Amino acid sequence: MATALRTHSVGRVLLHRVTLTYLIVALLWVVAGVLKPGFASAGHLRYLLELAAVMGIVAAGQTLVIIAAGIDLSVASVITFSAMMLPLLSPAGDPSGLAGVAATLLLTTAVGTLNGLGIVLLRVHPLILTLATATILQGALILIAGGSAISVNNPAVVFLGNGKLLGWPMTIVTWLVLGSLVTALLHATVLGAWLFAIGTNDRASRLAGVAVGPALVAAYAISGFCAGLGGLLLLGMNRQGYVGIGEPYLLGSIAAVVLGGTSILGGRGSYLGTVAGAVLLVTITALITVVNASAGWRSILFGALILGLLLLSGRDRESR
Amino acid sequence: MTPPVLATREVGKRFYDNVVLRGVGIEIRPGRVHALLGENGAGKSTLINLLSGVLQPDAGAILVDGQERRGLTPAEARRLGIAVVQQELSLAPHLSVAENIALGAMPRRGGFIDYGQLAHGAGQLCARLGLDVPLDLPVERLPLGQRQLIEIAKALWRRPRVLILDEPTSSLSAHEVRTLFGLVRALRATGVAVLYISHRLNEVLELCDWVTVLKDGVVTADQSLEGSDPKALVRLMVGREAGDLFPPRGTGGEGKLALAAHGLVGESLRGLDLELRYGEVLGLGGLLGQGQEETLRALYGDLPLRGGEIRVDGRTRRAASPGRSADAGIAYVPADRKREALLLPLPIRYNLVLPALRRLATHGLRRRVREAITAASLIREFAIKANDPRDAAQLLSGGNQQKIAIARWLPLSPRVLLLNDPTRGVDVETKREIYARLRRMADDGAAVLLLSSDTLELVHLCDRVAVQRDGRIVAELDRGRLSEEAIVRASLGMAA
Amino acid sequence: MSGLELQLRLLWRRNAGLWSLFTLLAALLVVYAWLHPGLLSIAGVARFTQTWFPVALVALAQTLIMLAGGIDLSIGAMVSLGCVLAATLVGETATAAGLGIAAVVAIGATIGATTGAIVALLRLPAIIVTLAGSFLIAGAALLVMPRPGGSMPDWLSDALAGDRPTALAMLILLLIAWRVLQATPLGHAINAAGDNPQGAFRSGVDVPLARIATYALSGALASFAGVYVAAQTGAGDPVIGMPLTLDSITAAVLGGVGFLGGQGTLRGAIAGSLLLVILINVMFFLGFPPVAQYVAKGLIIVAAMAVRLLRAG
Amino acid sequence: APATAAAKCIKGDRKAPYTVGWANIYSVPTWMKQTSGTIEDVVEQLKAKGLVDSYVVTDAEGNANTQIAQIQSMIDADVDAIVVIAGSSTALNRVIEQACEKGIAVANVDSLVTTDQLTVKINTDSNKWGAQAAEFLIGAMGGKGKIIIMNGPAGISVSEDRRAGATPVLAAHPEIEILTETNTPYNAAPAQEAMTSLLFQYPEIDGILSLGGALTAGAILAMDRQGRPMVPMTGENYRQFLELWKEKGLTAWATMQPNWLGGFGVYAAVQALEGRDIPAFVEVPLPIIDNSNLDEYLARAADFPADGYIYSPYSLEMFDDLLAGK
Ligand SMILES: Nc1ncnc2c1ncn2[C@@H]1O[C@H](COP(=O)(O)OP(=O)(O)OP(=O)(O)O)[C@@H](O)[C@H]1O
Ligand SMILES: Nc1ncnc2c1ncn2[C@@H]1O[C@H](COP(=O)(O)OP(=O)(O)OP(=O)(O)O)[C@@H](O)[C@H]1O
Ligand SMILES: [Mg+2]
Ligand SMILES: [Mg+2]
């Protein structure tokens, strides 16, 4: 049980492990491409990346929260909420649609902030508090659903979901920008360093003068922002929001984070790993879609793939 | 001479490229208290981990009753009668005192836990250790010193033939140490072999019969302790003559009021009054668990108060939190470094800059180079024995971890230092450095409040000592009246 | 201190954080009984416990795992699998039914033990292993029964989920069984392994074994919940358990189980599951529309947690 | 009302005005919200006639076990009629039988239970749904070609029934090749994702047999994004699908699960309580949407939510006709 751990080698191993996850993704693409021609076509891979972008953006907030030893179970509801609220929040007089985008992101960030405040001030376990937030948002969705008589015609959102910038899909561009920001936040700012500290030992962090409360609120607020942005991208990609649009991203975002090597117990992890985790998850989801088998077998194949990849990508992890 | 019950033959141990033990032989015999000495990071804990099956040697052999044991596991070591007091690390915080004492060795009857025997046995052990706590209390609610006693009770529970104590007294007060020594002597009389690790050399001289000294992973002395004195021990460990442990005292106690507490009421505090001045080292003494730790936490802003007020520089403090205190130049070194100070899995470097992180950054952006330089200079100044500052802090030896807990505050140049047993598990040379530094800081105008379980520290380092009992300060001993006896008397509630 | 006194004090101590939950529940039960006097009859109690029993079982299953420091996302799938297996395997005669139920529970325990072995021996994160497990198990359930069907003997349905409070009796039996387990070294090892795995290992506790045992027990409980749902509904449904995973986690955490293991009690989890079930019923009788139901549920669950934690200080 | 009631479960001891309960499986999805709308509308109309005086709703949040508990609560509260969309085709059997024994009129609509001890089951025929869709598609494809079948979630009766209905039709046409099938929730995004991957996989697709919900909309979006030519396809009255159909000028066919099945359930239950002899099973004919009447539907689109379903008009008179088997 007392495994020898050295951080700089942990760092190396981690990097190594993240590299390994990327290698696995590549391997998976090659194997799938050989077995199922068309799977590894450039167009398909780009599409997978676009899908992974949404997962990756939602999982960005989740990464911050999990590194701080929390968890955000409200992301699915926040995504749906964002997609449903946007048409209501887009003023008719704004041709760019940016006002609606800003208002929606502000709203979801506020939801995240409330999550953080509840966790810090009421000292309720994040699992329960974010679950309660999700439940309350579901209630709000009953009111909103069916209320929006127009499908999305917000140009900013359509551009986000469908547009291209210098030949690159906007989803991927957005992901690149957000991903860089989150990576920088984690590794180049005091806040990021604090999140690692809090996730490792919040009591010790507090006694060392770390502003634990504000840092946690910030992490949950960012998670709310990321989920909101994910919702807008989905809305743009589908041109239509509906209740339940966020559902696959709840367990998906957590799985991407953990598959990417971030410890579910907090204190250890990287966003680069999450990126690989998101791509991995999206890839195997697509893979089981193209396998012609009954639903039962597909489910089994999916489970087996996750387990297999987990085994491949590293066994020296915590025993939880 | 009786044959050794537990011994090593030429054992070696390395972690990656760090060779920690080299050809170490040690023989632990029944009826003898055997001291294992060495500077921080010399390899003592590693050696006992080998002896107790927690780690496996890379070379050499472990011998139990003269027989070589390969692949020893903790469970097997236990069966062979080897019990180790690893400090607080192996307690289950949410389980009760009784359950922890019997952890892994529950008395059973017909497949079930025998609660009768558990209550009886655990109760008896607590009594023998002078530990007066309810058996059903979760251990997380106990102060560090009492947790340490439970760790000892846990080792004794198994009626060991070999008892290994890794710095068992490092957070016990003088009174508890007496009790423990009585117990160890009684065990010795019944033929138990004791291996005793401590950095408190006079304790070693008082209790132990034999000494093995480790230096950089090699045995440099293995001899009887008869006729030794502390200086001789230091010479054995460090290889040169020992200087005075404690620095000369300055004027002290004349500065302005830094912190003043009036009628504090809260967890374990029952109307506490205390004044701390700039330029002085104020000691805080007393028996274990009289609320001394709570006093420090209250001053640091970490304890919710139900009454009383705290003045900082003469101004009443309102919303208090550790963060605000740290910003105001107040530093706090907790006793329980593993749970309250260090971020064990994170790099040493990171641990060293955590409190100063914001100070070192510009506009919230970290300055890695500055951080690295700061950490490197702290490692040098405190002689922290680290292979690589990027290693996880948990890989450091206990004493070196303790150095981090103190060193990390220095970049903030705090004006008030609240220290809870800051030299716990620290070797003599480092202690000397820490004492000198504290004195220098006080001379430079800082206010130092030192809670210590080591009466020597209180007597020889402090300008003044306040003795706490039952949540109140019951005596203040100024320099003229400072003596070990006076502190113990006040602690026990006798007139000074 | 005598052994009995120690045992009683430990019991009391473990309830300490739960009084606000218990009080809230008592209040809700009074309100419920007042709104619906029919509750206060044997049949009323029987019917109420029937709806509660499966949730209580999964809450127990989750609590076991969380106590040992893990989390199980495959509990819902296991309920589904137990349900379809029961509707396929349980025969008409008493012997056949008994054997069938035993077989289902044994399968659940085996799958649980396998999961536990993967988590404990290969040291992989439980959250992902059990997520993968949930797909594997759900897939197996679909293979056993691609769509709802099968049947359970009527007499069995009546016995387990009829007008007699069998479910309540089983719940009490389970609590007693848990007390008994707690009084064994294994039960103790489970707690210690969750609380401080390294320390427990160093103290000679067989941590991997304790982990595997909890997963096996949890698998058995979840599959039995499936059997019960099959009996209660008279048939098998390959997806019926899915929503129960989240319920199980909520109930366990509400009942005071720490996310990091080591603390919490089964009766807390049972109380947590009761809160989830009774809230829904009380809100119906109070005439809450769905919108308000969601909001109220979210707020009450947070309040139930916050009150306890704030009082604990 | 006559002394001896004719409909199942009805004992004749309940008098107007009645209390109506709506045991909703999940109130959040838009389809369910629209269905609730028709129920509330019919309740209002019946209130005006003095037949109903109160109305209670439960929401099981998608959990069949919760739905059991809530129907139990309705029995305990002694409502007179219960309308239920079943969260599981088997799980509710026993509690519904209990309600029936208590003389409560139980109308089960849309997702049906397997028990027959209730007042009335109202539904379209899911088997026919699948069969007719398959027939249209095969016809539109000229009897041969490669298709992809898009199913709803696995393990759910409705989606299994629709698929089962298509099976014999497909089997009768050996020149139809099934490339592969999908199972997704009845939502656009997952369908679009699955379809996108499949499009890359199969360069040649001649038809899409989509068996409901928003699946077809997802398929169209996927094809559109890849610039693939549209092929004949089937679907449901999902507003976005109908709009895309018009926009792309598709060869398509749609039917629907009318939301007013809910309102109809209320009406039928109250009629039964009033002593009317109503059939144990009312099969609602599947309305067909094709190019001939697509515009009629789209003309009313603005009255329906963007992520909703454009259902055919209804009235109490129409319900009477349906009950009378007309
Ligand atoms: N698991 C490990 N991996 C790498 N290095 C280790 C590990 N454990 C210990 N070390 C290193 O081995 C050396 C000896 O450590 P050990 O804990 O044995 O010292 P010690 O003599 O007990 O010191 P102290 O008096 O401070 O407790 C230290 O340099 C420490 O950093
Ligand atoms: N998680 C771990 N992985 C590897 N080695 C560890 C780990 N935790 C502790 N160690 C090593 O095990 C040895 C014993 O651990 P322990 O925590 O008792 O340290 P220690 O040096 O004895 O501290 P103390 O001063 O409290 O006695 C130390 O040398 C430490 O480096
Ligand atoms: Mg040591
Ligand atoms: Mg040590």
Domain that holds residue B124: 6-238
Structural domain contains residue B108: yes
* B374, B411 Cβ separation under 8 angstroms: yes
Q: How far is the CA of C203 from the centre of ligand 3 (A)?
A: 18
Q: Which residue of C has its CA nearest to B96?
A: C10
Domain that holds residue A256: 39-318
Burial class of residue B144, CB neighbours in 10 A (0-12, 13-18, 19+): buried
Contacts of D153 in chain C (CB under 8 A): 239
Contacts of A290-293 with CB under 8 Å at 24 or more apart are: A290/A32, A290/A36, A290/A38, A290/A39, A290/D180, A290/D197, A290/D198, A290/D201, A291/A36, A292/D179, A292/D180, A292/D181
Structural domain contains residue B1: no
* pLDDT of D229 above 90: yes
Q: How far is the CA of B483 from the centre of ligand 4 (A)?
A: 29
> Do B and D touch (≥3 CB pairs < 8 Å)?
no
Chain D: which residues have CB within 8 Å of chain A? Answer: 27-30, 33-34, 37, 61, 151, 154-155, 179-183, 185, 187-190, 192-194, 196-198, 200-203, 214, 217-218, 221, 225-226, 240, 243, 302, 304-308
Give the DSSP H/E element, type plus range, for residue A59.
helix A42-67
Better pLDDT: A161 or B230: A161
Give which of D49, D46, D50, D67 is closest to D58, Cα–Cα. Answer: D67
Structural domain contains residue C89: yes
* pLDDT of A120 above 50: yes
- Pick the atom of ligand 2 nearest to B402's CA: 25
Please report which ligand is nearest the Cα atom of B36: 1
> Which of left, alpha, beta for D50 (phi over 0: left; psi -120 to 50: alpha)?
left
Structural domain contains residue C13: no
Q: How high is the mean pLDDT of chain A?
A: 87
Structural domain contains residue C3: no
Mutate which of B395, B402, B424 for ligand 2 pocket (most atoms within 8 A of beta carbon): B395
**What CATH number should be reported for the domain holding residue A298?**
1.10.3470
Full-prediction pTM beyond 0.95? no
Which residues of chain C are under the pLDDT cut of 70? 1, 15-17, 258-264, 308-313
Give the DSSP H/E element, type plus range, for residue A101.
helix A98-117
One-letter amino acid at A258 equals V
Give how far Cα B267 sits from Cα of A206, B299, B337, B474, Å: 19, 13, 21, 18
Q: How far is the CA of B398 from the centre of ligand 2 (A)?
A: 7
Q: Are B230 and B352 within one domain?
A: no
Structural domain contains residue C41: yes
Last residue of a domain, one of B412, B439, B468: B412
Q: Does D93 touch chain C (CB under 8 A)?
A: yes
Better pLDDT: C9 or D191: D191
* pLDDT of B251 above 70: no
Q: What is the mean pLDDT of residues D136-156?
A: 92
Structural domain contains residue B298: yes
pLDDT tier for residue B87 given thresholds of 50, 70 and 90? low
Residue with tokens 């499949």: D198
* pLDDT, position A188: 93
DSSP A90: S
Contacts of C293-297 with CB under 8 Å at 24 or more apart are: C293/A139, C293/D59, C294/A135, C294/A136, C294/A138, C294/A139, C294/A140, C294/A142, C294/D59, C295/A135, C295/A136, C295/A139, C297/A132, C297/A135
The finding on whether B385 has its CB within 6 A of some atom of ligand 1 is yes
Structural domain contains residue B190: yes
Contact C1 B135 (CB under 8 A): yes
* A261, A14 Cβ separation under 8 angstroms: yes
* pLDDT, position D12: 77
Those chains having 3 or more beta-carbon pairs within 8 angstroms of chain C are A, B, D
Please, which residues have CB less than 5 A from ligand 4, an ion?
B 45, 398
pLDDT tier for residue A320 given thresholds of 50, 70 and 90? very low
Q: How far is the CA of B151 from the centre of ligand 3 (A)?
A: 16
C-interface mutation test, from D27, D65, D160, most C Cβ less than 10 A away: D65
Give which of C112, C86, C83, C116 is closest to C99, Cα–Cα. Answer: C86
Contact D65 C238 (CB under 8 A): no
* pLDDT, position A4: 38
Count of A–C CB contacts within 8 Å? 161
Q: How far is the CA of B290 from the centre of ligand 4 (A)?
A: 26
- For chain D, the three-class secondary structure string (H helix, E strand, C coil) is CCCCCCCCCCCCCCCCCEEEEEEECCCCCHHHHHHHHHHHHHHHHHHHCCCEEEEEEEECCCCHHHHHHHHHHHHHCCCCEEEECCCCCCCCHHHHHHHHHCCCEEEEECCCCCCCCCCEEEECCHHHHHHHHHHHHHHHCCCCEEEEEEECCCCCHHHHHHHHHHHHHHHCCCCEEEEEEEECCCCHHHHHHHHHHHHHHCCCCCEEEECCCCHHHHHHHHHHHHCCCCCCEEEECEHHHHHHHHHHCCCEEEECCCCCHHHHHHHHHHHHHCCCCCCCEEECCCCCECCCCHHHHHHCHHHCCCCCECCCCCCHHHHHHHHCCC
pLDDT tier for residue A174 given thresholds of 50, 70 and 90? very high
Q: Does A131 touch chain C (CB under 8 A)?
A: yes
Q: How many domains does chain C have?
A: 1
pLDDT tier for residue A93 given thresholds of 50, 70 and 90? confident
Q: How many domains does chain A have?
A: 1
Structural domain contains residue C10: no
Contact D193 A51 (CB under 8 A): yes
Q: Quote the distance between the C-alpha of residue A273 and its chain's center.
A: 12
Q: How high is the mean pLDDT of chain B?
A: 88
Q: What is the mean pLDDT of residues A284-291?
A: 88
Q: Does A234 touch chain D (CB under 8 A)?
A: yes
Closest chain A C-alpha to B257 CA, distance in angstroms: 23
Render chain C in DSSP notation, one character per residue: --HHHHHHHHHHHHHGGGHHHHHHHHHHHHHHHHH-GGGGSHHHHHHHHHHHHHHHHHHHHHHHHHHTT---S-HHHHHHHHHHHHHHH--SSHHHHHHHHHHHHHHHHHHHHHHHHHHHHH---HHHHHHHHHHHHHHHHHHH-SSSB----HHHHHHHHSSS-HHHHHHHHHHHHHHHHHTSHHHHHHHHHHH-HHHHHHTT--HHHHHHHHHHHHHHHHHHHHHHHHHHHTSB-TTTTTTHHHHHHHHHHHTT--TTSS---HHHHHHHHHHHHHHHHHHHHTT--HHHHHHHHHHHHHHHHHHHHHHH-
Please report which ligand is nearest the Cα atom of B84: 2
* pLDDT of D317 above 90: yes
Render B177-191 in DSSP notation, one character per residue: HHHHHHHHHHHHHTT
Contact B92 C199 (CB under 8 A): yes
Domain that holds residue C129: 18-312
Structural domain contains residue C120: yes
Sheet holding D145-151, edge to edge: D176-183, D145-151, D207-210, D233-236, D252-255
Q: Are B160 and B309 within one domain?
A: no
The region of weakest confidence among B58-62, C14-18, D125-129 is: C14-18
Q: What is the mean pLDDT of residues B101-125?
A: 86
* pLDDT, position A319: 32
Q: Which two tokens stand for residue C297?
A: 């549920």
* C256, C265 Cβ separation under 8 angstroms: yes
Last residue of a domain, one of B182, B205, B238: B238
Q: Are B296 and B378 within one domain?
A: no
One-letter amino acid at C148 equals P
* pLDDT of A119 above 70: yes
Burial class of residue B18, CB neighbours in 10 A (0-12, 13-18, 19+): middle
* A207, A49 Cβ separation under 8 angstroms: no
Q: How high is the mean pLDDT of chain C?
A: 86
Q: How many domains does chain B have?
A: 3
pLDDT tier for residue A15 given thresholds of 50, 70 and 90? low
Residue nearest to atom 27 of ligand 1 (CA): B398
Q: Are B151 and B283 within one domain?
A: no
* pLDDT of D313 above 50: yes
Q: What is the mean pLDDT of residues D25-44?
A: 91
* pLDDT, position A7: 45
Which tens digit of pLDDT belongs to each residue from C150-178?
A: 888 888 888 888 888 888 899 999 888 88
User: Complex ipTM, two decimals?
Assistant: 0.87
Q: Does B366 touch chain C (CB under 8 A)?
A: no
* pLDDT, position B242: 66
Chain B: which residues have CB within 8 Å of chain A? Answer: 15-16, 49, 54-55, 300, 302, 321-323, 325-327, 332, 334, 339-348, 350, 354-355, 357-358, 361, 364-366, 388, 390-392, 394-395, 408
In angstroms, rounded to a whole number, what is the distance separating the alpha carbons of residues B155 and B149?
Answer: 10
Give which of B258, B382, B405 is closest to B334, Cα–Cα. Answer: B405
Contact A243 D29 (CB under 8 A): yes
Q: Are B249 and B229 within one domain?
A: no
* pLDDT, position C187: 84
Contacts of B113 in chain C (CB under 8 A): 183-185, 188
Structural domain contains residue C8: no
The dihedral built from the CA positions of residue C100, C102, C103 and C104, taken in this order, carries a sign that is: positive
Structural domain contains residue A12: no
pLDDT tier for residue A3 given thresholds of 50, 70 and 90? very low
Structural domain contains residue B462: yes
Q: Are B232 and B200 within one domain?
A: yes
* pLDDT, position B495: 65
Q: Are B356 and B225 within one domain?
A: no
Structural domain contains residue A248: yes
**What CATH number should be reported for the domain holding residue B25?**
3.40.50.300
* pLDDT of B252 above 60: no
In angstroms, rounded to a whole number, what is the distance separating the alpha carbons of residues D202 and D204?
Answer: 5
| Residues of chain B above pLDDT 90, percent | 46
Structural domain contains residue A24: no
Last residue of a domain, one of B361, B378, B412: B412
Contact D28 A296 (CB under 8 A): no
Q: Which two tokens stand for residue B449?
A: 């409040």
- Pick the atom of ligand 1 nearest to A4's CA: 1
Q: Are B377 and B460 within one domain?
A: no
* pLDDT, position A318: 42
Residue nearest to atom 31 of ligand 1 (CA): B396
Q: Quote the distance between the C-alpha of residue B42 and its chain's center.
A: 17
* pLDDT of A8 above 70: no
* pLDDT of A37 above 90: no
Contacts of C222 in chain D (CB under 8 A): none
Which tens digit of pLDDT belongs to each residue from A178-236?
A: 999 999 999 999 999 999 999 999 999 999 999 999 999 999 999 999 999 999 999 88
Q: Are B46 and B119 within one domain?
A: yes
Which range is most confident: A235-244, B80-89, B105-114, C44-53? C44-53
Structural domain contains residue C274: yes
pLDDT tier for residue A52 given thresholds of 50, 70 and 90? very high
Q: Which two tokens stand for residue B21?
A: 């033990």
Q: What is the mean pLDDT of residues B42-63?
A: 91
* C215, C69 Cβ separation under 8 angstroms: no
**What CATH number should be reported for the domain holding residue C269?**
1.10.3470
* B32, B194 Cβ separation under 8 angstroms: yes
* pLDDT of A149 above 50: no
The finding on whether B212 has its CB within 6 A of some atom of ligand 2 is no
* pLDDT, position D3: 44
* pLDDT of A148 above 80: no
Please report which ligand is nearest the Cα atom of B47: 1
Contact D189 A237 (CB under 8 A): yes
Helices (H) and strands (E) in chain A, counts: 13, 2
The finding on whether B292 has its CB within 6 A of some atom of ligand 1 is no
Q: How far is the CA of D186 from the centre of ligand 3 (A)?
A: 62
Helical pair C207-233 and D64-76, crossing angle rounded to 10 deg:
50
* pLDDT, position A315: 45
